[in-house]
Amino acid sequence: MALIRSEEELKAVFQDLKEWGLDYFILGSGSNLLVSDKGYNGAVLKIEYDEITKNNNEVIAGAGVKLNALINFCLKEGLGGLEWAVGIPGTVGGAVYGNAGAMGHDFSENIKAVEFFSGQDDDLKLKTFNQKECEFGYRESYFKKSLKKEIIWRAFLSLNNCDPKILKDKIKEYLTYRLNRQPRYPSAGSVFKNILVSDYPHLLEKFNDLPIKNGKLAAGYLIEACGLKGERRGEAQIAAEHANFIINLGKARASDVLALIKLCQEKVWEKFGVKLEPEIKFLGFD
């Protein structure tokens, strides 16, 4: 495992990887990741480049910047637009990669450009994509879909001037909402993507009074409707507070979590004819 804080460190590590013939995985904070009980046969590169600067209403944040640190920086500078992300235990790089979102917002809303290195290039040249080139979608991006294993390095964010007192109140409101509705036990965050109802027109024909919001149906609603809240495998459990979280009661194994993921997918398919798509990423599984 390598903790990388600079371009020089990244290039040195890649030279070693090439000599050793090792595959690699880019890690953010691991907040949307399930790692196999067998581990991962390769190198893990954790990007810890965490410089934050601003230029008027633009904030430039390194991929290793924690989201809460970014929000605190914006609060001090009187820049709004990211308050909804408070409490998400991730990094800027991870938020770009998976187009992180909550409270009806997505990280891509504020992205102007992204700098990244291509792992396919021998000289690791720094490249830049504008917002459109990043191909953002619901919990998706070019970087997540690409097979080239790019290394996200910096994000250029466009924000709005805002009274710090108003920002502070918004942050408090979002944090309170999150704390009151999400489990306190360890987890990998939301397990499944919410459902785009347009992909499943039969839902509106067969089921009445579905809680559809902005064209989406919460995965947690479907899981709860199948009576799966509280279901356990080993020390992994579908959370009572929110059915789209699988929590670790103490000594859960990845195989326990995976068994519950498959159970949710099977039961929701049987009852609703909907295929639940994981939001979390899997590492080290065959």
pLDDT tens, position by position, 207-261: 988 999 989 999 999 999 999 999 999 999 999 999 999 999 999 999 999 999 9
Gap between the Cα atoms of 30 and 89, Å rounded: 9
Kindly state whether residue 136 falls inside one of the protein's structural domains.
yes
173 and 55 housed in the same domain: yes
In DSSP terms, which residues pair with 36 in a beta bridge? none
Task: Give residue for tokens 């998706």.
Answer: 140
172 and 245 housed in the same domain: no
Mean pLDDT, the chain, whole residue set? 94
pTM of the model: 0.89
Kindly state whether residue 235 falls inside one of the protein's structural domains.
yes
81 and 170 housed in the same domain: yes
Q: Judge whether 32 and 57 are in contact, CB under 8 Å.
A: no
Kindly state whether residue 223 falls inside one of the protein's structural domains.
yes
pLDDT at position 118 is 85
Kindly state whether residue 11 falls inside one of the protein's structural domains.
no
Domain coverage including residue 209: 184-283
Kindly state whether residue 255 falls inside one of the protein's structural domains.
yes
Gap between the Cα atoms of 204 and 193, Å rounded: 19
pLDDT at position 250 is 95
Among candidate residues 155, 179, 203, the one where a domain is terminated: 179
Among candidate residues 150, 179, 208, the one where a domain is terminated: 179
207 and 248 housed in the same domain: yes
Q: Determine the distance from the C-alpha atom of residue 177 to the mean position of all C-alpha atoms in its chain, rounded to a whole number.
A: 19
Task: Give residue for tokens 């990211």.
Answer: 82
153 and 226 housed in the same domain: no
Gap between the Cα atoms of 97 and 258, Å rounded: 23
The average pLDDT across 97-116 equals 95
Give the model confidence (pLDDT) of 15-32 as tens digits: 999 899 999 999 998 989
Per-residue tokens: 254: 């990845």
Kindly state whether residue 9 falls inside one of the protein's structural domains.
no
Gap between the Cα atoms of 143 and 126, Å rounded: 14
241 and 188 housed in the same domain: yes
130 and 78 housed in the same domain: yes
Kindly state whether residue 245 falls inside one of the protein's structural domains.
yes
Which residues contact residue 92 at a Cβ distance below 8 angstroms, ignoring those fewer than 6 apart?
A: 61, 62, 63, 64, 65, 67, 70, 152, 155
Among candidate residues 132, 149, 179, the one where a domain is terminated: 179
Give the model confidence (pLDDT) of 112-124 as tens digits: 999 999 866 566 8
The total domain count for the chain is 2
141 and 193 housed in the same domain: no
Give the model confidence (pLDDT) of 57-73 as tens digits: 999 999 999 999 999 99
88 and 166 housed in the same domain: yes
Per-residue tokens: 9: 């460190």
Give the CATH number for residue 171. Answer: 3.30.465.10
The average pLDDT across 161-189 equals 92
131 and 227 housed in the same domain: no
Give the CATH number for residue 251. Answer: 3.90.78.10
Gap between the Cα atoms of 17 and 8, Å rounded: 14
- DSSP 8-state secondary structure symbol assigned to residue 194: P
Gap between the Cα atoms of 131 and 42, Å rounded: 31
Q: Please list the alpha-helical segments (H only) found in the chain.
A: 7-20, 67-77, 92-97, 142-145, 164-181, 202-206, 219-225, 254-272
Closest CA relative to residue 32, chosen from 74, 93, 81 = 93
Instruction: Give the catalytic positions in this structure.
Output: 139, 190, 279
Closest CA relative to residue 224, chosen from 241, 207, 236, 212 = 241
Kindly state whether residue 16 falls inside one of the protein's structural domains.
no
Q: Determine the distance from the C-alpha atom of residue 188 to the mean position of all C-alpha atoms in its chain, rounded to a whole number.
A: 9
226 and 111 housed in the same domain: no
118 and 225 housed in the same domain: no
